[in-house]
Structure 1
Amino acid sequence: MNSAVLNESAQRYFQPKTALSRVIAEAPYFTRCSDNKTAARIRPREFAIRYPYMQVNRTGMVSWLIFDLDHNDPLIWESAGLPAPNLVVSNRHNGQSHLFYSIIPVCTSEKARSKPIRYMKAIYESMATKLNADPAYSGPVAKTPGHPWWRTWEIHSDVYELGELADSLDLPLKPYWGHKENTDAVSHSRHCLLFEELRFFAYSIVAKEREQGSFISFSRQLESFAHSHNAFINRGFAANLTQSQVLATVKSVARWTWDRYTGSLPRNKGVMRLDNSLSLRERQQKAAKRTHKTRRQSTQVRIQQACQQLTQQGLKLTQTAVAKLAGLSRQTVAKYCHLLNRIEPTSLATPATKSSVKHAVHQIPAPQDCQQNSAMPKPTCSKDKVSSSSQSSLTPARSFTCESYGSQKNTVDAQIGQLQSREIAGNNSKIVPITERWRS
C-alpha cells in the first residue's frame, strides 16, 4: 500500500472538530484491527487507522451507532426520513456501506443503568428496520473511515442525542419474549439460531440465579451454554461463529434477561395477597394499616426488653434510660409510658450470704436447762436464813441450790471459752466480754 496515501489519510484524523477526529478520539487506545473482519491484531489507535477494519467503540461504551447496509443504496436514510449520518463508508466495488451516527456515549458495562441501554437498543432496531440494515450486525469491528480501501463521505460533525434520533421514529411496542422457541423460522442464520436457543435457556435459570447467584454467575452459565451449542458445522453450515460473535450474543441476552424478564412467574401481590378488584386507594389503606401495626408491635417489644434489662441491673426506669437502651427517641417512649408502669421492679436488696454473717457472742444460745426456766429467780443457799416474809414474796418456778447453780455456771463458762477460742483462731475478731453481764 502506498505510504503517501496513508500519510495523507492519516492527517485527516487530527483535524479538530471533524467526524474523523471523533473516530480516533472515541476509539480505545489499544484497538483491534486487521486486513479482514476478524480484527485479530491489537495496535495503538494511531496505527490502527492504517488498517481497513478497526474497532470503533470502546469496550463498555457506545459512541457510534453503526448500521451495516447489505444493499448498494447508501442514501436510503433520505427516503426513510431519518437524520443524516455523520459518515458514510462505502465499498468501492459493490456499494455496500456502513453508516456512522455519532451519539453521546452510552455506557453498556455490567454496572451500567439498564434504561439508557434499552432506549438506545430500541432506537437502533427501529432505525435498522427503516434502513434495511443487517439486524445481526453487532460490531465492534467496522470499516475504518478514511481508509483508502473505502469511499468515505464525511457529512457533518454534530453529535446526536438519543432523543433527537427518536423524534423521527415510531418506537414499536412489541412483546418482550415469545411463548416458545421458534428455531424453524430462523434456521437460515447462525446468529438467530444461537440467540433463540440461548434466550430460552436464560429464561429457565434467571429466577434461580436472582435468588441464589449473581449476574456474573448467570453470564458465565450462558457463556458456557453458547460455546457448547456453537457447533454449526455439524448442522450443515460452513463454519462456526467466532468467539467475539458468541460473546456479543451472550452479553445481549444476559443483560436483557436479567433486567426485564419475568416470564410465567406468579405475579407478586404482596404479603397481604390483596384482591386486584380493590381500588388502588383501598389497597394502599389496608397495606398502611398493616405496616403501622407491625411497626407498633416491634416498638413495644424493644421497649419491654429495655425495661427488663434495666430492672435486672437495678436501675431506675426512666424514659431517657429506656430510650437510650432501646435505640428509640424519648418522644417515642413517652407514647408507650403505660408499658413502664406494668413492669414490677424487683427488690434491689441482695440477701445476706453465709460468709457475710459474723459469729457474735450474743448469738450463742443459752444452755438447755436455762431455756426451760426462762423466769429463773435469784438462787438461794440452803444455809442462808431467809425470813418467811421474803420467802413468801417470791414465787419461784423452781428452787436452785448453790451446787446446781455453780455446776450450770461452770458449764456456760466452758462453752463461752470454747467459742471465744474458735473466734480468735478463725477471724481474729474482738469478742465482746458479756460474761459479767451473764453472771449478774
Structure 2
Amino acid sequence: MSIRNLRILLDFAKNKGIFMFDNFIESLPAKVRSTNDFEYGTRFRKKENALLHRYIEVHQLYKKYIIIDIDDVDQTNGSPDILGSAFLWEEKQLPPPTYIVINPYNARCHYFYELRTPVYYTENARRAPQKYYENTDLALTSVLKADTAYLGKFAKNPMHDSWKTIYHDVKYDLEDFQEWGLDLTGHKKKRKVEGELGGRNTSLFDSLREWSYIEVKKPYSYIDFQHVVDCKAQSINKTFVDCQYGVLPAKEALTVSKSVGTWTWRNQATIGNGGKNRGVMKLLPEMSLKAKQAAGATHTNDTRAKSTREAVIEAAMGLKTAGMPLTQKTVALRAEVSPRTVASYWKEIDREVGLNRRWA
C-alpha cells in the first residue's frame, strides 16, 4: 500500500465513520518507530509512513492497549491454514481481543486488548493504575502461556497486509478482566531468572556491568576493553539457553554491551573507590587530628556522593536498556534511593543516558 492509497483509505473511512483502526491510529504519537525487518533496525517516521511497515512501536507513555505475544502454535499441527493460536482466548475462557494480528505462515500472533481509559507512564503519573495494568498483563500472559520476555514495545501492525487481522468491536476497563475470572494473584512478579524489571536484558545488563567494573582496571585500550565486554556479553547471554525463551538475539546483547562498555570506560576513574583507604588523601603529617578528621569527613561525603551518582545513572541505563519507563520514580526504585535524590541528579542522567535519546 502506498502513502497516497493509505491517505485515501483513512479519509474515506473517517468520512464514513466505519474505520476499525481509528483508535489504534489515534493512540500512536506523531512520529513513531517502525520496521519491516528487525535485522535492519528501526527508524523514527511520521505516523502515516510508519503505518506502512510490518512492525510498529506502540506508545510507551500512553498505554492504550495490553498486547500479548502468542507463540503457542501446537494446535496448528504445522499447517499455516489453521490459526490455532488466534483462538486460545476462547479456549481459556478469556474476553475476545480487540485485534488478533496473525502471521499466516506460522500462526503466531499478537492479541491487542483496547482499554477505554489509557494508563499513563509519564513522570507524574500515579503508580497504582500502572501496577494494575502490569498485573493484568502478566496474568493474561500466564494464562495464555505467552512470551514473558515480550516487553510490549513493538507489535505487529494490524493494518499491514502481511498479517491476517481479526477485529472485535470491544473495549475494556481493567476491572473487566477479573469479571471474566482472570486471577491477578500469583502473577505479580516475573520469573526470577529474568530479573526484576526488564527480563533477560536487565539480567544481562546487571551481570555485565558488575564484571566490567573490575575488568576496566586492567591495562586496556578502549578498543580492546570494548571487545572483551562484547565477548563477555555473548558469554553471559549463552547462560539463558535453559530459560523458557532462550538466549537474546546476538545484536540485542551487543547493544547492551556497547552501552555498558562506553559508560564504564568513561567513568572508570570513579568506579570502585568506596571503602576506607587511609593513605588515599596524602595528608600532611603536621596536620592536627581535628583537621585530618574534617578533611576525612569531606572526602567520605564526596565519595558517598559519587557512589550515589553512579547508582542512579546505572539504574537509568538499566531501565533504558530494558525498554522500561525512564522516570524519577522508576530510577529511584531500581537504585534504592529516594525520588528526591534522583531529582538532584536528573540533569546528569539526561547528559549521560539521554532521557529522550535512543541507544546507538
Q: 1:199 to 1:128 in 2, by over 3 A?
A: farther
Residue number among 149, 152, 159 corresponding to 2:171 in the alignment: 159
SS in structure 1 opposite 2:135?
A: helix
Quote the residue 1:109 is aligned against: 122
Quote the residue 1:249 is aligned against: 322
Q: 1:163 to 1:260 in 2, by over 3 A?
A: farther
2:175 partner amino acid: G
SS in structure 1 opposite 2:143?
A: helix
Q: 1:231 to 1:84 in 2, by over 3 A?
A: farther
SS in structure 2 opposite 1:74?
A: helix
Deviates more, 1:7-16 or 1:31-40: 7-16
Map of 1:234-273 to 2, 5 A cutoff? Answer: 234-235=235-236, 236=238, 238-241=250-253, 242=255, 247=320, 249=322, 251=324, 258=332
C-alpha displacement of 1:253: 9.6
Q: Report whether the alignment pairs 1:43 with 2:50.
A: no
- Count of residues in Structure 1 that have an aligned counterpart in Structure 2: 228
C-alpha displacement of 1:23: 1.0
Q: 1:26 to 1:99 in 2, by over 3 A?
A: same
Question: Take 2:205 and 2:335, find their aligned partners in 1: how far apart are those partners?
Answer: 14
Q: 1:153 to 1:173 in 2, by over 3 A?
A: closer
Question: Take 1:117 and 1:23, find their aligned partners in 2: how far apart are those partners?
Answer: 20
2:202 partner amino acid: F
Q: Is the CA contact 2:319–2:331 (under 8 Å) kept in the aligned structure 1?
A: no
Quote the residue 1:313 is aligned against: none
Question: Take 1:229 and 1:175, find their aligned partners in 2: how far apart are those partners?
Answer: 33
Question: Take 2:331 and 2:102, find their aligned partners in 1: how far apart are those partners?
Answer: 35
Higher Cα Rg, which structure: 1
C-alpha displacement of 1:245: 9.5
Measured against aligned partners, the alpha-carbon deviations of 1:332-384 in whole angstroms (never above 9, x if no partner) come to xxxxxxxxxxxxxxxxxxxxxxxxxxxxxxxxxxxxxxxxxxxxxxxxxxxxx
C-alpha displacement of 1:174: 6.8
Q: In angstroms, what is the RMSD of aligned CA positions?
A: 4.0
Question: Take 1:176 and 1:139, find their aligned partners in 2: how far apart are those partners?
Answer: 16
Quote the residue 2:30 is aligned against: 29
Measured against aligned partners, the alpha-carbon deviations of 1:173-223 in whole angstroms (never above 9, x if no partner) come to 578699xxx65xx69xxx64443476899xxxxxxxxxxxxxxxxxxxxxx
C-alpha displacement of 1:161: 0.7
Question: Take 2:111 and 2:207, find their aligned partners in 1: how far apart are those partners?
Answer: 32
C-alpha displacement of 1:39: 5.6
Q: Is the CA contact 2:102–2:164 (under 8 Å) kept in the aligned structure 1?
A: yes
Measured against aligned partners, the alpha-carbon deviations of 1:228-281 in whole angstroms (never above 9, x if no partner) come to 89953233464443469962636369856845998xxxxxxxxxxxxxxxxxxx
Structure 1, unmatched stretches of 5+, are 202-227, 263-440
C-alpha displacement of 1:154: 1.2
Q: Is the CA contact 1:63–1:102 (under 8 Å) kept in the aligned structure 2?
A: yes
Q: 1:25 to 1:177 in 2, by over 3 A?
A: closer
Question: Take 2:106 and 2:119, find their aligned partners in 1: how far apart are those partners?
Answer: 32
Say which structure, 1 or 2, has more relative contact order (CA 8 Å, 6+ apart). Answer: 2
Quote the residue 1:52 is aligned against: 54
SS in structure 2 opposite 1:43?
A: strand
With structure 1 as the length reference, what TM-score do the two structures score? 0.44
Quote the residue 1:284 is aligned against: none
Residue number among 75, 79, 85 corresponding to 2:91 in the alignment: 79
> Percentage identity across aligned positions?
23
C-alpha displacement of 1:112: 1.3
Q: Is the CA contact 1:74–1:88 (under 8 Å) kept in the aligned structure 2?
A: yes
SS in structure 1 opposite 2:322?
A: helix
With structure 2 as the length reference, what TM-score do the two structures score? 0.53
Deviates more, 1:237-246 or 1:97-106: 237-246
Q: Is the CA contact 1:54–1:144 (under 8 Å) kept in the aligned structure 2?
A: yes
